[in-house]
Amino acid sequence: MSVNDTLGLKSAGDRVTGAGVVSVVIPCCDEEANLLEIHRRVGAALSRCGAGYEVVYVDDGSTDSTPLLLQELQAADPRHVRVVFLSRNFGHQFAVTAGLAHAAGDAVVIIDADLQDPPEVICDMVQRWRDGYDVVYGVRTEREGETRFKLWSARFFYRLIRRLSDTDIPLDAGDFRLMDRQVVDAIVAMPERDRFVRGMVSWAGFKQVGLPYCRAARAGGETKYPLAKMLRFAVDGILSFSTKPLRLSIHLGFLSAGIALMAIVYALAMRLFTDMWVTGWTAIFIAILFLGGIQMISLGIMGEYIGRLYGEAKRRPLYLIQKTLGFGPAPVSRPQLEERSRTRTRADRRGPRDRRRLA
């Protein structure tokens, strides 16, 4: 029996009557300190929603006792708990993608295991979904337990990407959100390697609404986003949803050309109308450094985009699964179906003689 049959999935229209099933995707990486508490609070919140539910944990290459705890949770509640074990640490966005691909609910909630996003808000999200919204994203009105630098950098990042991106990405909204099944299917179908899930959801469109909440401090364990990783995540978000950095190199080129033109006019004026010469190696040295800096910045920007093209061209899987717990027989994935369809189409175009030769 498949997961859909076990859960008794309903049609999309059943969200209004409260008959829809809700899946909660929880990516985990070394979260032994928070796992039992997040499981208890998520289960309590979903029980109050009055709907069928499943909890899909994704172990993203944990090195502590998280995998063992996940196995125990699944054995204790096989009806509601599913677990996906990735073969190594692929990163948060890929773990989220794996969870979305395995979630079977009519609505899917993404929440981290660090308890910074309160599971109790899930019921409010489900209610907004029943009211007809396809995406309900959490908006952080307060962020407890974070440094001034983290608060300032987060505020700056959201406003920068909103200004640079061609997609309207909500301010102060992370990955904590509820999505309708059709939105989840659209996100899973996107093949891009540089995943920025919150931007992908905004790009997908549909009917979306924000839900304000207060973000708590991390309950236990260490953050998985140190400064270097945060900066990389910010770069991925900007470059994945904007080509304006490429245009920046053009503007820098015009700027340097304009400065050079003014310097030429100044040097000629000094030579023709005065007895003074523009002498000294300092001006030449500064000019070389200025032009060299602009060239390196432009090459770096282009290199980032070219590197992404290289990653896409390799067409490696987004993630690899070591094993799963709590799922029924694995369904045929969409890429496999498409490949089979293309194979049948090519076979239909061949004549009888070609088919016998292939056989």
The sign one gets for the Cα dihedral 228, 231, 237, 240 is negative
Output the pLDDT for position 139: 86
Decide: helix, strand or coil at residue 198. Answer: helix
Output the pLDDT for position 271: 67
d(CA 176, CA 195): 15
21-224 belongs to which homologous superfamily? Spore Coat Polysaccharide Biosynthesis Protein SpsA; Chain A (3.90.550.10)
Cα within 13 Å of Cα(329), Cβ side: 5
Domain range summary for the chain, segments of one domain joined by +: 21-224, 243-314
Output the pLDDT for position 278: 56
Phi/psi of residue 109, each to 5°? -110, 135
Output the pLDDT for position 297: 74
Encoded tokens for 128: 């907004």
**E strand or H helix that includes residue 329:** none
d(CA 54, CA 109): 10
Encoded tokens for 5: 């049959």
**E strand or H helix that includes residue 126:** helix 122-130
Output the pLDDT for position 280: 61
Output the pLDDT for position 341: 40
Q: Is the pTM of this model over 0.75?
A: no
Spell out where 46-189 has E strands.
53-59, 81-86, 107-110, 135-143, 173-180
Decide: helix, strand or coil at residue 281. Answer: helix
Contact 297, 250 (CB under 8 A): no
CB atoms within 10 A of CB 277: 9
Per-residue tens of pLDDT for the chain, all 359 residues: 444 444 444 444 555 545 578 899 999 988 888 888 889 998 888 888 877 889 999 998 888 888 999 998 988 888 889 999 998 888 888 899 999 999 888 899 999 888 888 888 898 888 888 888 899 988 888 776 666 776 777 677 767 767 777 777 777 777 888 999 989 998 888 877 778 888 888 888 888 888 888 887 766 556 655 566 667 766 666 666 666 676 676 777 777 767 777 776 776 677 667 766 656 655 676 667 677 777 777 777 777 777 767 666 777 788 888 888 888 654 433 344 344 444 443 444 444 444 334 33
Encoded tokens for 264: 């030429």
Decide: helix, strand or coil at residue 313. Answer: helix
